[in-house]
């Protein structure tokens, strides 16, 4: 047991209590952020005359030495300390003696951990955001290659109207673009520095909080010391953003799994991203897509866990808040793993364009266009809908698509139909007539792609 307190205690902590209370096994993960925060704190203390220049030099050298030795593996972060803050401070005192004891002047572990967690989260957000941007690049590339790859668009998983693969991918571009913007937004809002909030009520030392905030790359200090130590909103926002990213990935995975099935055969997942069966030699399974879909629950779990942990906590710091870490770390790791693997799978996936087009030609995806044809010839839409319904029924009976039905059959149901109906319900026509903003028509799609390329360049 190695702890920073004990003066007012007359008994040793029970070992089980000690273990239950300690957080070093997981908060050692932000040793770098902890040391970085201490370096800024010490620089500020010296600037304010609270430490001498000499003390500052000694502490700074000591902290840098600890950082180096941890990174090189020379110094192991021992689990015998209560938390990472205790480990760093105790090691510093061990190494440099008395000046080390001044490091914690005007600081509490409450504002220290609030800072560490913020610094760590901020770094993670940038890392995750870079991955989201890479995924956007992959999606955009698939879009560019598939402006004329026709496929059925679905509602209720029933063939609805023809679209293109570029159009389908564009929907995901929009989703992940919002994710990217959400991450940026969180990084911006969270960028205030809690250091100097003390345990909850600030401190009587003349700290320059603006200076430490600036040294650590924050826009400024937090403006209420109680909120400073007990705010975890930024973490909830990130877990919420990660949950939405996972939901998007999971939907995408669900489609990949369906498209990769023997019935659809719209795509073939690359061998490097598939797995086999131990019993069925013919199998090539979409395990990666399934795992990403499955891991979504873990990330939702982390969000739920922290929301629940936070809901009953009176101001200011309470030990419950130590529970903010493990699930959050797991969620960050999970999301990062999933985004990278998904991007790799998408990048290497083969699209079976003929099969997609063939599928779009069946299932009456052009029925709406047949109705539109009638509307363009003066038939009210509701009547046109009924007429085409009858046409579809006839075709189902004859087991043929709309464009294989002879003109006399069309005319039996409505005399308005002429030879040009075949042109109007042709797959390419059906798609390329859709030129409103955001529609799958070639012109509209090329405009979207140009806008996305510009967006990525900015």
Catalytic residues: 156, 277
Nearer to ligand ARG, 82 or 357 (CB): 82
Nearer to ligand ARG, 27 or 129 (CB): 27
Q: 220: part of which helix (H) or strand (E)?
A: strand 220-221
Near ligand ARG in 58-97, by CB under 6 A: 83
The token duo for 311 is 């809901």
Closest CA to 165 of 300, 359, 409: 359
Residue 113 contacts ligand ARG per CB under 6 A:
yes
Nearer to ligand ARG, 109 or 293 (CB): 109
In the chain, what is the greatest distance between 2 CA atoms, to the nearest angstrom? 101
What φ, ψ does residue 155 adopt, rounded to 5°?
A: -130, 145
Alpha-carbon distance 68 to 297, whole Å?
38
Nearer to ligand ARG, 319 or 399 (CB): 319
Site string for ligand ARG, 11-40 (x = CB under 6 A): ------------x---x-------------
Please identify which residue in 191, 203, 274, 322 interacts with ligand ARG, judged by CB under 6 A: 322
Nearer to ligand ARG, 197 or 365 (CB): 197
Closest CA to 166 of 143, 149, 140: 143
Question: Looking at beta carbons, which residue is closest to ligand ARG?
Answer: 322
Q: Which span sits near ligand ARG by CB under 6 A: 107-115, 130-138, 238-246, 352-360?
A: 107-115
Please identify which residue in 58, 91, 110, 448 interacts with ligand ARG, judged by CB under 6 A: 110
- Outline where DSSP puts E strands in 236-333: 267-268
Q: Which span sits near ligand ARG by CB under 6 A: 69-77, 89-97, 242-250, 314-322?
A: 314-322
* Nearest distance, CB of residue 321 and ligand ARG, angstroms: 5
CB 289 within 8 A of CB 197: no
Q: Is 363 helix (H, G, I), strand (E, B) or coil?
A: coil
Please identify which residue in 28, 41, 107, 109 interacts with ligand ARG, judged by CB under 6 A: 109
Residue 421 contacts ligand ARG per CB under 6 A:
no
Which residues make Cβ contacts (< 8 Å) with residue 83, sequence separation at least 6? 22, 23, 24, 27, 109, 113
Cα–Cα distance list, 133 to 9, 175, 305, 398, 434 (Å): 53, 12, 28, 49, 29
Radius of gyration of the chain (CA): 31
Alpha-carbon distance 251 to 314, whole Å?
38
The token duo for 252 is 């995408």
* Nearest distance, CB of residue 324 and ligand ARG, angstroms: 7
The residue written with tokens 């959400």 in the block is 182
Please identify which residue in 183, 288, 321, 332 interacts with ligand ARG, judged by CB under 6 A: 321
Nearer to ligand ARG, 85 or 182 (CB): 85
Q: Which span sits near ligand ARG by CB under 6 A: 109-117, 165-173, 248-256, 259-267?
A: 109-117
Number of residues counted as binding ligand ARG (CB under 6 A):
10
Q: In this structure, how many other beta carbons lie within 10 angstroms of the beta carbon of residue 211?
A: 17
* Nearest distance, CB of residue 199 and ligand ARG, angstroms: 7
Alpha-carbon distance 135 to 131, whole Å?
6
Nearer to ligand ARG, 116 or 357 (CB): 116
Residue 305 contacts ligand ARG per CB under 6 A:
no
List residues binding ligand ARG (CB under 6 A). 23, 27, 83, 109-110, 113, 317, 319, 321-322
């Amino acid at each position: 047991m190695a702890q920073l307190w004990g003066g007012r205690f007359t008994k040793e902590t029970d070992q089980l209590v000690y273990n239950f209370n300690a957080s070093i096994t997981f908060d050692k993960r932000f040793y770098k952020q902890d040391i970085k925060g201490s370096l800024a704190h010490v620089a500020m203390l010296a600037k304010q005359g609270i430490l001498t220049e000499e003390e500052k030099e000694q502490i700074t050298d000591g902290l840098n030495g600890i950082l180096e030795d941890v990174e090189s593996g020379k110094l192991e972060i021992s689990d015998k300390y209560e938390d990472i803050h205790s480990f760093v401070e105790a090691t510093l005192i061990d190494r440099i003696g008395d000046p080390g004891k001044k490091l914690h002047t005007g600081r509490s572990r409450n504002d220290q951990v609030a800072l560490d967690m913020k610094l760590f989260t901020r770094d993670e957000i940038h890392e995750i955001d870079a991955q989201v941007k890479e995924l956007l690049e992959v999606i955009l590339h698939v879009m560019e290659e598939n402006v004329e790859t026709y496929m059925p668009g679905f509602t209720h998983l029933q063939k609805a109207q023809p679209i293109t693969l570029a159009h389908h991918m564009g929907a995901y571009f929009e989703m992940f673009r919002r994710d990217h913007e959400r991450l940026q937004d969180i990084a911006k809002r969270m960028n205030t520095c809690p250091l100097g909030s003390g345990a909850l009520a600030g401190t009587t030392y003349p700290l320059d909080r603006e200076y430490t905030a600036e040294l650590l790359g924050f826009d400024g200090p937090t403006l209420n010391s109680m909120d400073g130590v007990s705010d975890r909103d930024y973490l909830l926002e990130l877990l919420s953003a990660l949950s939405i990213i996972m939901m998007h990935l999971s939907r995408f995975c669900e489609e990949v799994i369906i498209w990769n099935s023997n019935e659809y055969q719209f795509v073939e997942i690359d061998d490097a991203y598939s797995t086999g069966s131990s019993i069925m030699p013919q199998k090539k399974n979409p395990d990666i897509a399934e795992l990403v879909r499955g891991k979504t629950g873990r990330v939702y779990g982390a969000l739920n866990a922290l929301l629940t942990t936070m809901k009953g906590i009176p101001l200011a710091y309470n030990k419950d808040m130590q529970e903010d870490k493990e699930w959050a770390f797991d969620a960050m790791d999970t999301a990062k793993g999933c985004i990278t693997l998904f991007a790799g799978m998408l990048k290497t996936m083969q699209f079976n364009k003929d099969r997609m087009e063939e599928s779009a030609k069946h299932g009456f995806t052009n029925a709406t266009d047949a109705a539109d044809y009638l509307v363009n010839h003066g038939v009210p839409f509701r009547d046109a809908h009924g007429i085409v319904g009858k046409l579809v029924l006839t075709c189902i009976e004859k087991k043929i698509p709309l464009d294989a039905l002879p003109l006399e059959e069309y005319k039996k149901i409505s005399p308005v139909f002429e030879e040009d109906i075949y042109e109007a319900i042709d797959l390419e026509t059906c798609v390329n007539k859709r030129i409103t903003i955001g529609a799958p028509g070639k012109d509209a799609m090329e405009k979207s792609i140009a806008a996305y390329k510009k967006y990525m360049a900015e």
